[in-house]
Amino acid sequence: MSKPAESKKVKLILSAIYSDRPAWLSLLEGLEEKYGGIDYSSKEMDFHYTGYYEEEMGATLARELVSFARLIRPEDLSGIKLFTNQMELSQSRSGKRKVNLDPGFLSLDQMTLATGKPAPHRVYLRDGIWADLHLIYESGGFQPMNWTYPDYRSESIIGVFNRLREVLKLTLKTGGERDAV
């Protein structure tokens, strides 16, 4: 018989896809107030992997990835997704978002995103939120799943997650929060 165990803490990560950088920066302030300091922030990257957001947000989109120094529990993910959904709405105009926020977590074993869209490979958490496993750590690095979005398959983004995994590993070993990466 297996014995139930408490979850290990994980690193909160967030992808922002946006058409309006000031709107994103405004939301980032609120995220820092709620979840603590940012320990990693990517450069702004062109987002061109899908046309999914084009009708709502326009054709010229950018993305930034951030992670937070304060660790969370995996079971916090659904509440975080509900909070980021409200933040998106606060910057929406005429029912159209200017910013799409995709929170997730990075553990030593996986990278999982939160979503409001069901699919056969997603596990229901609560309150209309599913966990979507995108990357697993094996053979010395994160590896995509068959359903992993194309952008999360890119070498550059997987490289970021591999580096953040090392930060998480050190944080868990020392028991402390980390400064900026």
* DSSP class of 52: T
Interval 84-126: pLDDT, tens: 999 999 999 898 999 999 999 999 999 999 999 999 999 999 9
- CATH architecture of structural domain 10-174: 2-Layer Sandwich (3.30)
Q: What does the domain layout of the chain look like in residue ranges? A: 10-174
- Residue 75 DSSP SS3: helix
**Residue 28, phi then psi, degrees to nearest 5:** -60, -40
Ramachandran angles phi, psi of 79, nearest 5°: -65, -35
Q: Which residue has the tokens 């944080």?
A: 171
Cβ atoms 107, 76 nearer than 8 A: no
Residue 134 phi, psi dihedral angles, 5° rounding:
-110, -35
Write down the pTM of the prediction.
0.92
The full length of the chain comes to 181
Find out whether 19 and 63 touch, Cβ atoms under 8 Å. no
The answer to whether 27 and 87 have CB atoms below 8 angstroms apart is: yes
**What are the tens digits of pLDDT across the range 8-53?**
999 999 999 999 999 999 999 999 999 999 999 999 999 887 777 7
Buried b (16+ CB within 10 A) or exposed e, 18-44: bbbeebbeebbeebeeebeebbbeeee
